[in-house]
Amino acid sequence: MVAVERSLISTAGLTKRYGAFTAVDNLNLEILAGEVFGLLGPNGAGKTTTILMLMGLTEPTAGEVKV
């Protein structure tokens, strides 16, 4: 029997803007069951904003999140 991989978290075109500032721009992401995932980047790169959108605590300007 072949195992079917399924996404636990996915984003498509995820974007968040605060006025003229774009915090997250067109993020496409897929995390499968069993994967370990790290989110790295410099200050102001959009890491916290991305996590807040994945948790449903901040509404994206565009795109979609599936958890």
pLDDT confidence bin for 4, thresholds 50/70/90: low
Q: Where are the domains of the chain?
A: 7-66
pLDDT one-digit tens code per residue, 6-56: 899 999 999 999 999 999 999 999 999 999 989 999 999 999 999 999 999
Residue 5 pLDDT greater than 80, yes or no: no
Residue 2 pLDDT greater than 60, yes or no: no
Q: What is the pLDDT of residue 30?
A: 96
Cα dihedral 40/22/11/58 (nearest 10): 90
CATH architecture of 7-66: 3-Layer(aba) Sandwich (3.40)
Work out the number of other CB atoms within 10 angstroms of the CB of residue 27: 18
